[in-house]
Amino acid sequence: MQPPRLASHVHGGNGLGDVELPGPSGKPVAESAAELLVRLVRQHPGEIDVLAVGPLTNLAVALGLEPELPRLVRRLVVMGGAVRVPGNVSSHAEANIGNDPEAAEAVFAAGFDLDLVALDITMRTVATPAWLEELRTVPGERAERTSAFLDFYADFYSGIFGVRQCAMHDPLAAAVLVDPHLVTEAVEAPLRVELTGGLTRGMTVADLRPRPKDDDRRPARVVTEVAEAEFLGRMLDSLR
């Protein structure tokens, strides 16, 4: 695993557009994230969904601790990858997959019931200038802090989109986990990660042909269309 790309120019120095939040009220647990996940799914087999919005390192470590993890987890939603579109940390690699390609390959090979929310859909599901302006009118500390963070984010994305709007990568993945009916179209395909290519390391490779008979890898659902207006409306409602 290479050192992570922190991308402070995208997310700010603290990962939240330099918006200061109150300190946490809880305390760190004694076990690692991977150990905690394994313990919880063993205690509640088939009841826990997992949302992955970063490199898949912890999931890969958890797989090493518990090979039955894909059977114990009910559903896994991954925000990551670029299937039919360019990457964002290289010509082919998306950041979450590209930061630990070996971990992502292990997770994609394991047989999870998996939805992939990739750049293909997140770069088309955006908080528009009108949506961001409406968010400014929503009262309350949560909406105000979210608006401030997204202002920072929109500044970065204005150089990509040409207007002050921003892609809703992680919120869309979370919404898909909470309500799968927001997905209006998906394709099923086995996923792999390119590990050796000099120009393509970290690339998410989906075999989109009719399922090959000699491929025993469980296909994932690659989200290709969502109910965008409903998603953005519910995002505003959740911040009111």
For residue 236 the two structure tokens come to: 């505003």
128-151 burial, b if ≥16 CB within 10 A, otherwise e?
Answer: beebbeebeeeeeeebebbbbbbb
Q: Which residues contact 62 (CB under 8 A, 6 or more apart)?
A: 33, 34, 35, 37, 38, 69
Placement of tokens 């949302």 in the chain:
51
- Which of 30, 82, 37, 29 has the alpha carbon at shortest distance from 59? 37
Q: Are 176 and 77 in contact (CB under 8 A)?
A: yes
Catalytic residue (one of 11, 92, 169, 181): 169
Q: Let me know if 11 is a catalytic residue.
A: no
The residues annotated as belonging to the active site are: 169
